[in-house]
Amino acid sequence: MVRDAAGAAVLLVAFVVDAVVGDAPAPGVALLVVAGIVGVAWRRRAPLVALVVSGGALCGATVVAGADTGGLTAAVVVVYSAIAWGRRLAGTVAAAAELVGVAVIDAARTGAWQGTEVVALALVLAVAVAAGFAMQSRRATIATARERVQRAEQTREAEAARRVAEERLRIARELHDVLGHHVAVIGVQSGVAETLLESRPAAARTALQHVQDASEQVLTELAALVEVLREPGDDARAAPQPGLGALGALLDEARATGLVVDEVTTGESRTLAPVVDLVAYRVVQEALTNAHKHGGGSARLVLAYTQDTLTVEVTNPVRAAPDPDGPDEPRGGAVGGHGLVGMRERVASVGGDLAAGLDRSTFRVSAVLPALARTAAAGAPAGPPARPPDPVAADTLPEQP
């Protein structure tokens, strides 16, 4: 509004100077021209009002003194502004109405067609209309470009937030996997050591040695994880991730806690994609941890290889059947209530399928993994055909009772 008022003031000063230096118009004409200039102050805030005022002033001045008496400048400015700021139809109609009005009024007043004045007026108004359309198109282009930049920025922010969330989830899974199993071992072996400290000191020392080994393993894996977090761009400094090649040490550690583990391998063993190898190891680790904490003291591990898949299945008897009248709410894994949920997410991340549930007095965890990792983002299938659901729905993934 301030800029529009300043523009109107400039036009008013120019009109006054022209009137003083040149021939002063009649008072009536001067008032009409000033009224048209005042309309310029409303050219963006109220463009329709400005069009009516400036156009009416131009036609009124023509009635009083002819087509060349002034008021055209204000009308041209208002027509241009109306079109440039989005009132294209109103500005164009106003320009045409002003041209016809001035031509008809001047012809009626003089009794003759003033072709030269009409053509000059038409050219001036045409230039104003064209300039208005050009400016409106430019403003629309700038607005579109700004919108695209904003959308791109929002997309980048959303992508950054997604990556942060995925990284936090990955770190949470690694911490759970690192801590869950070994802390369970430490808890069991420290209890054994306390029980046998006086009656069987040799056995107590063995249990304490298991506690020490598990503690060192936790510290080693945590140090490797912290190193990765400190140097996110330097994968070469990260410790190798465990896989089924380390399965023997994992089973020995589980057996050292008192869990009887029976291992069966079917099919021809083959090299897996590194990420699938890690997921298979973590599934076994989590399933044995839960079997030790909630099972009946034994577990059976089956690794079934086919040409395209690996099936990891861990079954164990449970200590007691769940209360059929009790709450049917899923719980998590061994640490923090997220073990089985994290297991499901790990398996899904490589395009696999996980089923977990209670079948009578046996709890079964079964993961079907592709030999090579497949993800939806790469356009590959979501995973191998789904296994029939267990008595307990697989997607709820309850913890063992």
Cβ proximity of 192 and 209 under 8 Å = no
CATH of domain 243-401: 3.30.565.10
pLDDT at position 81 is 86
**CB-side neighbour CA atoms (13 Å) of 84:** 17
Secondary structure (3-state) at 153: helix
Spell out a b/e string for 141-158, using b for 16 or more CB atoms within 10 Å of the CB, else e: eeeeeeeeeeeeeeeeee
Q: Which phi and psi angles does 248 have, rounded to 5°? A: -60, -45
pLDDT at position 109 is 75
Q: Please report, for the chain, the start and end positions of each structural domain, with discontinuous segments joined by +.
A: 2-113, 243-401
Where the chain has pLDDT below 70, the residues are 1, 4, 7-8, 11-12, 14-28, 64-70, 114, 171, 174-175, 177-181, 221-240, 320-339, 373-401
pLDDT at position 360 is 82
Separation CA 240–CA 233 (nearest Å) = 16
**CB-side neighbour CA atoms (13 Å) of 342:** 28
pLDDT at position 238 is 47
pLDDT at position 310 is 94
CB-count exposure of residue 350 (10 Å: 0-12, 13-18, 19+): buried
| Residues 16-30: tens digit of each pLDDT | 665 566 665 666 677
- Residue linked to tokens 């009656």: 199
pLDDT at position 156 is 84
Cβ proximity of 296 and 395 under 8 Å = no
H or E segment and range at residue 266 = strand 260-266
pLDDT at position 224 is 62
Q: Which phi and psi angles does 353 have, rounded to 5°? A: -135, 130
